[in-house]
Amino acid sequence: MQRVLTALVLFLSLTTHAADWPNYRGPNHDGISTETGWKTTWPAEGPKRLWKATVGTGFSSVSVSEGRVCTMGNSNNQDTIWCFDAETGKELWHHSYPCPTDPNLFEGGPTATPAMVDTRVLTQSLVYTLSRRGDVFCIEAASGKIAWTTNVAKALGLKIPTWGFAGSPLFIDTRSTGGPMNLYLNVGTAGVALDGFNGKIVWSSGAKASGYTTPVPCSFAGQQAIALCNASDVVALEIKSGKPLWQYPWKTDYDINAADPVIEADNVFVSSGYEHGAALLQIHDDQPPSLVWQNKNMRNQISSSVLFEGHLYGMDGNNGHDITLKCVEFKTGKILWNHQGFGTGTLMMADKKLIILGDKGELAVAEASPEAFKLIAHAQILGGKCWTVPVLANGRIYCRNAKGDLVCLDVK
């Protein structure tokens, strides 16, 4: 039986609204939205701003579900989890708790994005969050009431990596197939699973410092799994037990593996900055992963690449210098085009278009085409440092900067 590694999204795609963005990298965990018909013809000042909020220092992106928007920030060494009305920006609730801002060569603050679970999965909507120090919260989305909380680092004696825990929570409900309803975190040696109902430890992989990626759901020879990068490898683990299914060495300077693995069929793309580069792995039935190609054509230091119709689009750069937006052929690693000007920017994709947020606050839309970089629209919509991926959901684009200015733009 051929073993394949594919995005395991059935249990998620059936339980999310079509245009919602309930977790980091979206409902399919690939940075691509299925939303169409949104507006790309803008006035010079950009799309109309519907609302703005101040959420505190940090790099947490937004999640959008059932008319609510959630994100995180830090002020005066207090993390705050925020929930806003998606249409008006009205604060619905917030929850604060002690956590150091922890600046270290950057502004600090929370870097993980909340995971939201709607009422088609559970009897009530929930929000799951993770702090840089290991605080995990499960909050009722409608009321802001805490359902449960734990500090996973203290509970398991985990080593906190240099820049804190950064991977976002991943919620997986497989009860319909006799599996668990768990929350998966890239903490510890190669991840931890918590019971989604009560926060109890289901399995853990060891106490060593983690990587900075978000777990990606996948399947392997019929086994439901997660893939992630730890401090020195890219690994896949069976979701019920945490049993390693395979791993491949991926050692980067300063142990900074921050860009999520990109998975298609039996191929896994992995990329890191600091002059490490990228590789395409092939997964096999009865032997370790094999290397299809490896080069330095795509070095994702912060922002994960998106894969569309056989081509990768992402930010290539070495240690924050000379960052270039590139299109790279997935199967070969060949560069098809590059474009400078967005700095350490981030991107997502929708309707065959790239939505790019430059590191100085320029929002741009370009065709997702392997032929050339083709700009469609752009506008300056924020100031300050912008390292957080933009989000399109239900005709609105959400963008934030490091100091915590969050804007909602109308592109209906």
CA distance 327 to 305: 10
pLDDT band, very low/low/confident/very high, at 118 (cuts 50, 70, 90): confident
CA distance 234 to 210: 11
pLDDT band, very low/low/confident/very high, at 319 (cuts 50, 70, 90): low
Q: What is the mean pLDDT of residues 130-151?
A: 97
**Lookup: tokens for 6:** 């594919």
pLDDT of residue 222: 79
Overall number of domains in the chain:
1
pLDDT band, very low/low/confident/very high, at 121 (cuts 50, 70, 90): low
pLDDT of residue 318: 74
pLDDT of residue 109: 98
Indicate the DSSP class of residue 57: B
Flag whether pLDDT at 368 surpasses 50: yes
Q: What integer best gives the mean pLDDT of the chain?
A: 93
Q: What is the mean pLDDT of residues 89-98?
A: 98
Flag whether pLDDT at 179 surpasses 80: no
DSSP string, 63-81: EEETTEEEEEEEETTEEEE
pLDDT of residue 18: 65
Instruction: Please choose, from the candidates 19, 98, 26, 83, the residue with its C-alpha nearest in 3D space to the C-alpha of residue 53.
Output: 83
pLDDT of residue 4: 38
> What range defines the domain where residue 369 resides?
5-410
pLDDT of residue 287: 85
Which CATH number does the domain housing residue 350 bear? Answer: 2.130.10.10
Element (H, E) at 20: none
Q: What is the mean pLDDT of residues 181-192?
A: 96
- Is there a contact between 315 and 293 (Cβ–Cβ < 8 Å)? no
Flag whether pLDDT at 221 surpasses 90: no
User: For 204-218, what is each residue's pLDDT tens digit?
Assistant: 999 999 999 999 999
CA distance 102 to 92: 27
Q: Helix, strand or coil for residue 159?
A: coil
CA distance 278 to 305: 11
